[in-house]
A and B are shown apart, each in its own frame.
Chain A
Amino acid sequence: MTQLQPSFSGKSAIGGENNTSAIGIAIAVFGILTCAAIGVFTAEGGVLIIGAVANNTIIIGIATAGTFLITGLICLSIVGVLVLTVGSRLIGGGLSRAKLEAPEVLGPERVRVGERFNVQYRQAVKGDINVTGITIDLLLREWVRYTSGTDTYTDVHDHLIKRHELRGGLFSRGSIIPQDLRFEIPRNAIHTFPTPQMLEAHKQSEEVQKVMRRNPKLAERMLSQGTLSPTRNNRLSWHVHVQIDIERWPDFNQAFEVPVVADLYSDEGF
């Protein structure tokens, strides 16, 4: 058993959309309401709406107030959306980590296609929490990069292979959330792509050697970042994805990569 490496955090892309946490929504709503209030009461004409009902200048006042109101709404709506998207990941993720230590996830160093394997999950609790549910998934992630015009985009699709839905409970500070799980890579599935052998062989290719001769440091950096990979635009990877739902607190989400080798499991071993 070896420590599995964290791969991505946040909810997986099953179903093609990411949800936001309740705290993110609450902050965004608060932001929008605050912005509306500021928009009305800092506007010069805002006072006119309240006080100058019989005055001809009321129309100008309402128009001015409206402009300020709309501007304020737009500005703080943008802030709200930012909070929704970034906040749910960073703030929410950070908050969930305020209650939970980084998990220790032990799994196999490598798995063959068709092979069963065990995952040992241990996570220490920092503060008293009520865990309403724990979901641990085995996922095959398709990751692609594509260009449209001069812009580059990425997209992912997660295939849910196996889901363990586990009961939570009350955990006090200092306790451990323990889970021992068993998964299986289906026999008709695919290995991790690219394979380590493909990456190693690609280092000897003319493309890489050319960059190496020109700028060895740049070549090393590009190799480590995957931009000199033979599969720089298409990747397949296996992950154990953990989601811990905590009552009145942001969820904990983290995936851990499981390397799957291009070898079909048989009883004869590697």
Chain B
Amino acid sequence: MFRNKAKSDIRITIKNGRTIDGLQAFLPNEEVRGEAEIIPENDITVDAIRARLVWYTQGRGDRDMGVVDTVTGPSGFLTGGVPVRMDFTLRLPSAPWSYAGQLITLVWAVQIVVDRDRGLDYDDDQPIIMTPTFETLDPFGS
């Protein structure tokens, strides 16, 4: 969903959780801790860099989404090519759980948004899994 709109390299590292299918998995209500590194291609001024915990749907239906937690990081002038780091701790709610079905996939992600004072924002996201069982997300073999 959230494609990097270029002009800035965003790397997101999740530091806790268990690994399922190459993604970090968490229990409901757990904390997600991590770090983001943003390397702007050119000099830019940002209102804020934000780390957000979001869920969204993929599949046949039009997209639904929700933002459940946000942490605001550095703001001001960023020099092109110079990395900016931001730690974040975000809290998952009790629901919705991650799901992969026939028509609907429910995705959780940590999203980093570089909120520029003018022009398009930059963003990128790192999908995670939220499940109470750490079992497969496709119980129906669809």
Binding site for B on A (CB under 8 A): 113, 140, 142-147, 155-157, 159, 161, 186-191, 193-195, 197-198, 230-234, 236, 262-264
Contact = CB atoms under 8 A, between A and B. Distances in A.
Interface in B75-117: 94-97, 99, 101-104, 106
Contact of B62 (A140, A143, A194, A233): A233
Chain B interface helix/strand/loop/mixed: loop
B132 A155 contact: no
Interface string B51-70: 00000010111111010000
Given A161-B140, A188-B135, 7 more contacts: A142-B104, A146-B62, A191-B95, A195-B94, A234-B106, A236-B99, A263-B94
Contacts of A191: 95-97
Contacts of B103: 142-144, 155-157, 234
Contact of B64 (A147, A189, A234): A234
A186 B135 CA distance: 11
Given A145-B61, A232-B64, A234-B59, A159 B94 contact: no
A225 B108 CA distance: 26
Nearest to A156: B103
Contacts of B133: 187-188, 264
21 contacts: A113-B132, A142-B101, A144-B59, A144-B60, A144-B104, A157-B101, A157-B142, A188-B135, A190-B101, A191-B97, A197-B94, A198-B66, A198-B95, A230-B64, A232-B64, A234-B103, A236-B101, A262-B28, A262-B95, A262-B97, A263-B94
Given A159-B101, A159-B142, A188-B136, A231 B28 contact: no
A155 B60 contact: yes
Given A234-B104, A262-B94, A262-B97, A187 B135 contact: yes
B139 interface: yes
B95 A233 contact: no
A157 B140 CA distance: 12
B61 A144 contact: yes
Contacts of A264: 132-133
A146 B60 contact: yes
7 smallest beta-carbon distances between A and B, as pairs: A144-B61, A262-B95, A188-B135, A233-B62, A188-B139, A157-B102, A233-B61
Nearest to B61: A144
A238 to B, nearest CB: 13
B59 to A, nearest CB: 7
A131 to B, nearest CB: 30
Nearest to B97: A190
Contacts of B139: 186, 188-189
Contacts of B142: 157, 159
A190 B99 contact: yes
Contact of B102 (A145, A159, A186): A159
Contacts of B66: 198, 230
Interface string B128-142: 000011011001101
B52 to A, nearest CB: 15
Nearest to B101: A142
B132 to A, nearest CB: 4
Contacts of A230: 64, 66
Contacts of B104: 142, 144, 234, 236
A113 B28 CA distance: 14
Contacts of B57: 231, 233-234
